[in-house]
Structures are given as structure tokens and as C-alpha cells.
């Protein structure tokens, strides 16, 4: 029994530390709770995650072995909307050339951080990359 007390105490400390590390600390942290969205269609995989600070931006990773991705300008193919409102066009796609594997940041100048961080639902539509339309959707619990 004496040997179990330090183990139980250490386990309790780990649980408390983990809870503190993952708990949101206010509006600035809310965007980080959005998580990752993945779309796999026609041999092209897109993984998307909203950045957690600064201007509203989406980190994107595209992977395939069938299409050269360098010819796609995601700023002209992507739009977003918050809570069912008007669609907002992406403003800038920053990504180095990568052929079949491309990662970069897609910015939305018309979408401010406060609106993004307070949204219940966020939808991103990406057109014409191996399929006519992909819809990525993030929902926050009420």
C-alpha cells in the first residue's frame, strides 16, 4: 500500500497537467479547438487546419501520385463561410512548388480572427482539384 501512494500521486499530477494543457484559456485559444479536416477524393488527399493566431488562414497539405499540384492556385479555387453567411474568397495562397506533394498557407483577408474564433460552423469549399467540389466543415459544440 505504501508503494502505491507515490504512484497514485504521480498519476493524479499527470491527469491535472494534461487537463490544464488542453483546456482553452479564452477567445485566442478557441481557434485551436477546430482540429483537422481531411478530404480524400480521386487520388488527391487534402488535409486542412486553421491557424491559431494572427490573420485568418488555413494550413493545407495536398498529396497525390496522379496530378501535378503546382498548377493549382488555391486562392482562386477556394472560398469560406462562417455560420452559414456569405461566401468569402480566399485572398492568397503561399506555397512552394512541390509537384505531387504541396503544403502552404491559404489566407482569407475578408475573414477576421475574431469572427473565425467565435464561429459555430466554418465551411471551406475547394473546387476543381480532381473532383468538382470538396466541402470541409468544422463545427463547435454548443
What pLDDT was estimated at residue 83? 97
What secondary structure does DSSP assign to 10-37, as a single string?
HHHHHHHHHHHHHS--SHHHHGGGG-EE
Half-sphere exposure of 14 (CA within 13 A, CB side): 6
pLDDT, tens digit only, all 142 positions of the chain: 444 344 333 333 323 333 332 233 233 334 445 788 988 888 889 999 998 888 899 999 999 988 899 999 999 999 999 999 999 999 999 999 998 999 999 999 999 889 999 999 999 999 999 899 999 999 988 7
Q: How many CB atoms lie within 10 A of CB 34?
A: 20
CA distance 41 to 37: 13
pLDDT of residue 33: 57
Q: Which pLDDT tens digit goes with each residue over 30-57?
A: 444 578 898 888 888 999 999 888 889 9
Q: How many CB atoms lie within 10 A of CB 10?
A: 10
Question: Tell me, what's the pLDDT at 12?
Answer: 34
Q: Given this model, what pLDDT does residue 26 score?
A: 30
pLDDT of residue 42: 80
Amino acid at each position: 500500500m505504501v508503494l502505491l501512494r507515490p504512484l497514485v500521486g504521480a498519476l493524479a499530477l499527470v491527469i491535472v497537467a494534461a487537463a490544464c494543457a488542453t483546456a482553452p484559456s479564452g477567445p485566442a485559444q478557441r481557434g485551436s479547438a477546430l482540429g483537422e479536416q481531411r478530404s480524400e477524393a480521386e487520388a488527391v488527399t487534402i488535409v486542412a487546419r486553421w491557424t491559431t493566431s494572427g490573420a485568418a488562414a488555413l494550413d493545407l497539405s495536398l498529396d497525390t501520385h496522379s496530378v501535378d499540384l503546382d498548377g493549382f492556385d488555391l486562392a482562386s479555387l477556394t472560398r469560406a463561410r462562417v455560420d452559414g453567411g456569405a461566401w468569402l474568397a480566399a485572398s492568397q495562397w503561399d506555397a512552394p512548388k512541390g509537384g505531387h506533394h504541396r503544403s502552404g498557407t491559404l489566407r482569407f483577408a475578408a475573414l477576421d480572427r475574431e469572427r473565425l474564433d467565435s464561429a459555430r460552423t466554418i465551411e471551406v469549399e475547394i473546387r476543381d482539384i480532381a473532383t468538382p467540389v470538396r466541402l470541409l466543415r468544422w463545427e463547435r459544440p454548443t
